[in-house]
């Protein structure tokens, strides 16, 4: 299952997140091995941010990418709103590139909307793209009205992705943001697909999983991956979790599974405020 960006680049819909990686030297090697195991399993989208462990997560990703693995990775990182002025974005990007030990970021996102004018941030993104420091740019935690503002900017139509909280229990985006993104061919990246781990003990997901011989994690992911245009980025700091999650890419839920999920977490029937972790 691939998801295609507006410029035609396609990536597998299952990625990996890195929040809380790089916080301790004790777990660093395990985290590097986890990211490497993702790449080895064909998981290409690696999501990180300058915010995570103050650059520590980017440095874990950088170490994981050393050698041949860079070519198979699609590296996503994010600039903090406090760095989102024109010059702030440009210097934050250089710092991220250094920690990631790469020449170009595949997708650079504004982490969330802050005080900096969007036009300035987008202008900086375009400057970086023109110089080859980023391949494409996007946003995160933007609702439909924010996306409309982006699109109204001079280069706004070059926005390539939006990353939001989306899981079986946080379905508000299905009402408007997901159809909006789909109609523009813009991938929606689903963060915290396990509600930061809380969904992993859920009885409904576990019972559906038993039927398929898998766990709650794979069911939560398979549900997201069945939606066109959605990239899921579960965080997994252990290779065994990565291997389990990778199974979700080939798991097909049936109508009865979907109905059980809809009963437990009904789809939205009206506009909901965008969920944020």
Q: Quote the CA–CA distance of 49 and 140 in Å, as a whole number.
A: 11
Nearer to ligand NAP, 69 or 238 (CB): 238
From the list 270, 173, 264, 189, the residue with the least C-alpha distance to 230 is 189
Binding positions for ligand NAP, 241-260, rule CB under 6 A:
241, 244-245
DSSP summary character for residue 229 = T
Only one of the segments 62-70, 174-182, 185-193, 267-275 lies at the binding site for ligand NAP (rule: CB under 6 A); that segment is: 185-193
Least distance from ligand NAP to the Cβ atom of residue 255, Å: 25
Site for ligand NAP in 21-60 (CB under 6 A): 47
Residue 196 as a binder of ligand NAP (CB under 6 A): the answer is yes
Stretch that binds ligand NAP, among 124-132, 169-177, 238-246, 252-260 (CB under 6 A): 238-246
Closest CA to 174 of 184, 157, 188: 188
- Stretch of 123-131, 204-212, 227-235, 266-274 contacting ligand NAP, by CB under 6 A: 227-235
**R_g over Cα of the chain:** 18
Contact 21, 56 (CB under 8 A): yes
For residues 234 and 267, what is the distance between their CA atoms, to the nearest angstrom?
21
73, 16, 60: which is closest to 232 by C-alpha? Answer: 16
Query: What is the end-to-end Cα distance of the chain in Å, rounded?
Result: 27
Among 200, 226, 227, 265, binds ligand NAP (CB under 6 A): 200
Residue 160 touches ligand NAP, criterion: CB under 6 A: no
Q: Which is nearer to ligand NAP, 108 or 191 (CB)?
A: 191
Which residues lie near ligand NAP (CB under 6 A)?
A: 17-19, 47, 111, 140-141, 163, 191-197, 200, 217, 233-238, 241, 244-245, 277
């Amino acid at each position: 299952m691939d998801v295609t960006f507006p410029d035609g680049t396609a990536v597998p819909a299952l990625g990996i997140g890195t929040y809380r990686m790089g916080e301790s030297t004790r777990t660093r090697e395990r985290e590097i091995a986890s990211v490497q195991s993702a790449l080895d399993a064909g998981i290409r989208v690696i999501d990180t941010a300058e915010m995570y462990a103050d650059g520590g997560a980017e440095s874990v990703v950088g170490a994981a990418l050393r050698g041949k693995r860079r070519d198979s990775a699609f590296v996503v990182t994010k600039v903090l709103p406090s760095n989102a002025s024109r010059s702030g974005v440009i210097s934050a990007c250089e710092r991220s590139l250094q920690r990631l030990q790469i020449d170009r970021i595949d997708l650079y996102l504004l982490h969330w909307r802050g005080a900096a004018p969007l036009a300035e941030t987008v202008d900086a993104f375009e400057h970086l793209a023109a110089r080859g420091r980023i391949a494409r740019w996007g946003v995160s935690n933007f609702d439909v009205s924010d996306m409309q503002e982006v699109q109204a900017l001079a280069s706004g139509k070059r926005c390539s992705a939006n990353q939001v909280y989306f899981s079986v229990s946080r379905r508000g985006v299905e009402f408007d943001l997901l159809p909006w993104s789909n109609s523009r061919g813009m991938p929606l990246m689903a963060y915290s697909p396990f509600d930061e781990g809380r969904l992993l003990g859920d009885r409904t997901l576990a019972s559906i999983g038993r039927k398929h011989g898998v766990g709650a994690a794979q069911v939560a992911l398979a549900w997201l991956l069945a939606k066109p245009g959605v990239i899921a980025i579960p965080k997994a700091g252990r290779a065994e979790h990565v291997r389990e999650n990778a199974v979700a890419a080939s798991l097909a839920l049936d109508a009865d599974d979907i109905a059980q999920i809809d009963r437990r977490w009904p789809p939205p029937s009206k506009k909901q405020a965008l969920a944020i972790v």
